[in-house]
Structure 1
Amino acid sequence: MATSPESEHPIKAYGYAARDTSGILSPLTFSRRATGETDIRFKVLYCGICHSDLHFVKNEWGFTKYPVTPGHEIVGVVTEVGSKVENFKIGDKVGVGCLVGSCRSCQSCASDYEQYCEKQVLTYGVPNFDGTQTYGGYSDHMVSDEHFVLRWPENLPLDSGAPLLCAGITTYSPLKYFGLDKPGTKVGVVGLGGLGHVAVKMAKAFGAEVTVFSTTSAKEKEAIEGLNADHFINSKDEQKMEAVRGTLDGIIDTVSANHPIAPLLNALTPHGKLVLVGAPEKPLEVASFSLIMGRKLVAGSNIGGIKETQEMLDFAAKHGITADIEVIPIDYVNTAMERLLKSDVRYRFVIDVANSIKAE
């Protein structure tokens, strides 16, 4: 007989979970492991709502096992540390992002790319090394090996900083890796949502000249006045897309809906890079000569390793980068998911977990 979530581990926990493909979240009592020698236990204060949470609770990627408690943009305060923990103490502010485990021995892990480890353990909804399921930050507390815990900068707000643990590293990492972090670089950002608005802030902090592409003209004011982007282009406007041909060193494409990429490739300079961080449902259609004639690159990027995520948090604190958020109580989460599906948020929901979650 399968072990119930309530009895897998000795420490009682409480959160919100989806139990079927409806994605409706409701209270769940489950359990977390005892604090191990290298573990950090912390009270969850805030947790961002990522669009991938919505995909996951509805099993849109096909591998969700229920019940599932989402949340991988988690910040909190340490309440217990294991006997061999070296870098944290009780009372420290900490964060946990998309990963809580990896093999720690493969080439990816040795190179600080835990996000590409074949044995990586996601923060929620997958089997941990002991065979039990991981549960995310829509819950009262978390436990994680200290290697996967981030030190929270003193001057970085907890609530508006939380989404950086996914949206921040997902955009910071490709800007760094693909050399789009140099002052004066001309960078495009496609989509102005949870990822896109942070991408603009990161690129501007690196000193880039930023062009925002969106199919919604109403977002021009938000892009230019609200986020300090240098240019805005409605990507449905063929004349304006033609005018930007051959001008951008790189583009960060954050859009998960199906959309044409040929016009974006045209906007790149020779040797330019189009980096995908969104995941459209249908395969891309790319004409080979659109790449060959300018030695252009279509690439992808997925979050970052733990070392780089810490680097990103410190960079964000130094430059005053946070997400634009709407703080909600935990019992509003289903409404928030409905609004997220309609893109009715500017630009990230963050759950005030500590002040709204109450165990039954």
Structure 2
Amino acid sequence: MNSRLRPLSLLCASVAVFSVAAFAPPAQAEPAGAPADRSAAEVRSLPRTVDPRPSNEELAEELAEIADRSRGRVEVRSIGDSNQGRPVWAARIGDGPVRIQYISQQHGNEPLGAPAALEYVRTLGLGNSFWHRWLRSRVTVDVIVRANPDGHVHDWRYNYDPDADPEYGQAGQGYDINRYHDPAVAPDDNPATEAGHIQRAYAEFRPDIVVDYHMQGRYIDDEGREITASLLWPTHPDVADSDVEAAQQVSVVAERAITRLVPGSNVSLYPGGDYQGIARNAYGLRGSASVLIELSDMGAEHEQAQIRSAYAAMLAVTQSAADGSLRRIDPDRAEQIPPRGEPLPDTERAHPLRLDSLD
């Protein structure tokens, strides 16, 4: 494995590490005439039923239609192909100073972030009110809509690589993409193909904020209420304090949005580890406010609410980064988000491949 590694110092020399202590230049933090937040109205206007599992072909068609209708406001591109030749689609919107990257469905059997990401691209790219135009002038957003198209087809956690004999993954199936973002591993040396694509997209874009969407099993809090989503910031000890605090601010915004805009929501902290190959830690080490959001897999009757939760958090983080309110949040408030608690009885066997202590 050591032959695949390049020193972190050499890799970072080619991609500048940047601070996120301030998410926008001070002179632009609170522009005159900034419109009121209409995230709540956008969440309410989301269709009652969103396809929770669009095929790769349907996803590509929807993105192409959005790009065509946007009149240049949405740039859709492939950041690379999967091992089975499927494009990994990304959409870029806006031209503002604050850069946000959303990543969805690194694990193929954790689907609900992708339809939320698609609806977010549609809203931010096609909306043409003063609010939409203002957001696009304040932020630039890059959305990796479905990071693991092969895993989606096979309905498993991993990418597709029948030759894989991985440290993290399944021999004969593939690699666990979300263990292969280590900053010490160059993209060209990355054995997990799609993780290498994400590394390149990150290096080219250099986001201030990264939010990575996953799904977890079913859990309850200390009062017996079911957890609907969990989140966490970087926990690797070498992440700069300023970047941890910035990620905690993002976490507070996301938790508030889900709780406020989606009835019945109950958000907890996620008990994640400090391994540096996990995106949450890796991109914190690279200088971004990096946050994990895990939607609970609560069954078909809750899927629309979970899609709304992911969508609401995307809009709220965008709004708060655009208007400067994100920088005024006390990061210590993130520590007040309660712990996740125990698995819901009789559900552990339903999620045999959810490695929930490791993202």
TM-score if structure 1 supplies the norm length? Answer: 0.27
Higher relative helix content: 2
TM-score if structure 2 supplies the norm length? Answer: 0.27
Greater RCO (CA < 8 Å, at least 6 residues apart): 2
Higher relative strand content: 1
Higher Rg? 1
